[in-house]
Every structure is written in structure tokens, then in C-alpha cells.
Amino acid sequence: MEEYVQEALEIVKAQAGVRNMTEEEISSMVKTLSESIKSVSVGAESTESTQGKQEPAVDPKKAVREKSVVCLECGKTFKVLTKRHLATHDLTPEEYKQKWGYKKNQALIAKGLARDRKKKMQEMQLWKRRKTA
């Protein structure tokens, strides 16, 4: 197992060199990469075992952060988890939320960005402009 972890560490080190990564992302990525490298070198896993319960990249409760949202399918971070990205995993936003235990009205957007957008909309007060027009 040691050689798989070493290879995964080299890959993650290169990835961390080109983008900011949290400690949690780094450890999660090392774990998943080492397991993937091991499974590829030992042989392809049976489809029955891959059809089972998928492990999230990070804890779903911690995926929506102040400045980013972590995709639980691939572990990448975004400011907004879009329909387009979820489509790359063959999921709709509704399916994604159901799969990972989010409420239907949960926004897949960074908390800080949502707060900024809400503040901006309150400043604009479009509902008052519509009444006067």
C-alpha cells in the first residue's frame, strides 16, 4: 500500500502547486487516488462493488463552505455547483441533493457568495421598481 500512497502524494503535490487546497481536500484526494491507483494496478474492480455505496469526497455537511462548494462526486471546488458540472456526473441538481442527503431547497452555492447576492438584491429593490413602472 505504501507505493500507492507515495504515487498519490506526488500527484496531489502537483495539484496543490497549481491551486489552493484545504488540508481536508488534500487528505481526501490522497486517499481516493491511492485507492484508485491500487485498484488499477491490481486489476479492474467488479461492477458489483462499484455499484455499491459511493464515498463522498468530503463530508456532505462540510461541502458547502464560506468561499467554495465541494462537488461530492469528484472532489473539485467551485463557487457555484452548476447543472452543467453535475451533468458530467450524469446527475441533475435534484438527484445530486437526494443522493447526498441535502434538502430540496438547499442552494449549491458558496455561503459568502449567496450572502453577497442577497445583499445586492436588497439594495437594488427591484420589487419596488416594478410597482412604480
What is the chain's pLDDT, residue by residue, as a tens digit (133 residues)?
Answer: 578 788 888 888 888 888 888 888 888 888 888 888 777 777 654 444 444 567 887 888 888 999 999 999 988 999 999 999 999 999 999 999 999 999 999 999 999 999 999 999 999 888 887 777 6
CATH of 57-133, one of 1.20.80.10, 3.40.630.30, 1.10.10.1550, 3.40.50.720: 1.10.10.1550
DSSP letters, the chain, are -HHHHHHHHHHHHHHHHHS---HHHHHHHHHHHHHHHHHHHH-PPPHHHHTSPPPPSS-GGGSB-SS-EE-TTT--EESB--HHHHHHTT--HHHHHHHHT--TT---B-HHHHHHHHHHHHHHTHHHHHHH-
Query: What ranges do the domains of the chain cover?
Result: 1-52, 57-133
pTM of the model: 0.55
